[in-house]
Amino acid sequence: MAVMPSDFWSGWIILLTVISFIGLGWLVLSVYFLPSSQNHDGEEPVWDNNLTEGTSSPPFWWFWLILFMMVFTVVYLMLYPGLGSFEGAFRWSQGGQLSEHTAEFEREYADIEADILATPYIELTANNEAMNSAASIFSEHCSACHGAEAMGQANLFPNLIDDDWQWGGTAEQIEQTLRNGRLAVMISWQALLNDEGVDNVSAYVMSLSGSPDADHPGKAQNDMFCIACHGPTGDGNPLLGAPRLNDDLWLYAGDLDSIKASIANGRSGQMPAFGDLLDDVQIRLLTAMLLNN
C-alpha cells in the first residue's frame, strides 16, 4: 500500500490526477472532433510567399494510441496502487511482494537451517558445503582483521589456525568469543617495574618457552605481578584472555622489543561482538570451521 503522510495529501494527489486526466481528454477531443475556432475565410494566410500555417489535424493513429493509453491508465489505476493511497483491486505492493518472497525463502531454508543447528560440530567440519559457506562468511566479516587465511596479521590480530587459544578453544568458548566479542586488558607495567625490571621480566618471559632459570632476575617480579593472570608456569588463563607465555606463539610478535613493549605499555586487544550481525547458523558454521583449524 502506498504510504501517504495523511489523507489530505492522498486526496490532493487523486484530485490532481483526475483533473489532469480530464484535461488531457478534453484536449484530445478538441483537437480531433471540435470544429476549429479559427476563422477560415477560404484563404490560408501566406508569409514570405511560401510559408503557410499547418492547420491540418495530426494523424489519426495518434488518436487511437492516446485513447489506448488512457484506457490502460484507468485500468491500471483501478488494479494497482497509484491513485493516492488507493491500494488497487489487486492490493499489490512492493513490500507485500518482498514479504511473500521472504516467506517463501524462509520456508525453503528453515529445514536446512534446523539441520545445521542440529548437526554436531564434527560433522559440520567434515562437510565441504558447510565449510565453503563458513569460508565465505569468514572472508566477508573476519578476514579484514584476521587475514584471508585466518593466519592473523600485523601482530595485532591473532592467528586463528595455530591451535593456541587466548580465550579458549572449545566450541562454547569460541562461540562466546564470536557472539559477545572480547576485550583483553593488560595494564602498563613500566611505572611499577622501571626499565630494568621490564628488561629482566621480558627476558624471563622469553625464557618460559624454553627452560626457565629458577635464579633468573626477572622471576621474582614475574611471580609477584604476572602469575595471577598468566599462571605460575605461563600457561595463561582463558577466562581473562591472558595468553600463554610459554609456547613461543605470540599475538604481538615474539622478539625482545615487542615483548618489552607489551609489558611496558600494556595491551588491550578488542575482538568485536558479532551476536547481532550474524545469525545462529552463521555463528555455528564459523565455530565449526575454527574448531577444525
Binding status of residue 208 toward ligand HEC by CB under 6 A? no
Binding status of residue 121 toward ligand HEC by CB under 6 A? no
Binding status of residue 264 toward ligand HEC by CB under 6 A? no
Stretch that binds ligand HEC, among 3-11, 85-93, 96-104, 164-172 (CB under 6 A): 164-172
Binding status of residue 125 toward ligand HEC by CB under 6 A? no
Stretch that binds ligand HEC, among 44-52, 110-118, 123-131, 221-229 (CB under 6 A): 221-229
State the nearest-atom distance from the C-beta of 220 to ligand HEC, in Å: 11
Q: Which of 124, 133, 165, 281 binds ligand HEC (CB under 6 A)?
A: 165
Q: Which of 134, 242, 264, 281 binds ligand HEC (CB under 6 A)?
A: 242
Binding status of residue 260 toward ligand HEC by CB under 6 A? no
Give 130's contacts (C-beta < 8 A, 6+ positions apart): 116, 119, 124, 285, 288
Q: Which of 77, 243, 284, 288 binds ligand HEC (CB under 6 A)?
A: 243
Q: Which of 186, 208, 264, 285 binds ligand HEC (CB under 6 A)?
A: 186
Which of 258, 264, 249 has the alpha carbon at shortest distance from 166?
A: 249
CA–CA distance, 218 with 196 (Å, rounded to integer): 9
How is residue 6 written as a grid cell? 495523511
How is residue 218 written as a grid cell? 626477572
Binding status of residue 216 toward ligand HEC by CB under 6 A? no
Binding status of residue 272 toward ligand HEC by CB under 6 A? yes
CA dihedral 211, 216, 220, 222 (to 10 degrees): -50
How is residue 204 written as a grid cell? 624471563
Give 90's contacts (C-beta < 8 A, 6+ positions apart): 79, 80
Q: Are 117 and 281 in contact (CB under 8 A)?
A: yes
Which residue, 80 or 225, has its beta carbon nearer to ligand HEC?
225
Task: Please report, for residues 20, 35, 71, the alpha-carbon distance to residue 32 in angstroms, rounded to integers and kept in the order given.
Answer: 18, 8, 18
Which of 57, 97, 64 has the alpha carbon at shortest distance from 80?
A: 97
Q: Are 150 and 293 in contact (CB under 8 A)?
A: yes
Which residue, 77 or 288, has its beta carbon nearer to ligand HEC?
288
- Name the closest residue to ligand HEC (Cβ): 269
CA dihedral 199, 203, 206, 209 (to 10 degrees): -150
Stretch that binds ligand HEC, among 70-78, 104-112, 177-185, 207-215 (CB under 6 A): 177-185
Q: How many residues bind ligand HEC (CB under 6 A)?
A: 47
Which of 105, 132, 127, 101 has the alpha carbon at shortest distance from 115?
A: 127
Q: Are 293 and 134 in contact (CB under 8 A)?
A: no
Binding status of residue 225 toward ligand HEC by CB under 6 A? yes
State the nearest-atom distance from the C-beta of 250 to ligand HEC, in Å: 4
Binding status of residue 167 toward ligand HEC by CB under 6 A? yes
Q: Are 144 and 153 in contact (CB under 8 A)?
A: no
Q: Contact residues for ligand HEC (CB under 6 A)?
A: 141-142, 144-146, 157-158, 160, 165-167, 174, 177-178, 182, 184-186, 189, 201, 205, 222, 225-226, 228-230, 240-243, 245, 250-252, 259, 262-263, 267-272, 274, 286, 290
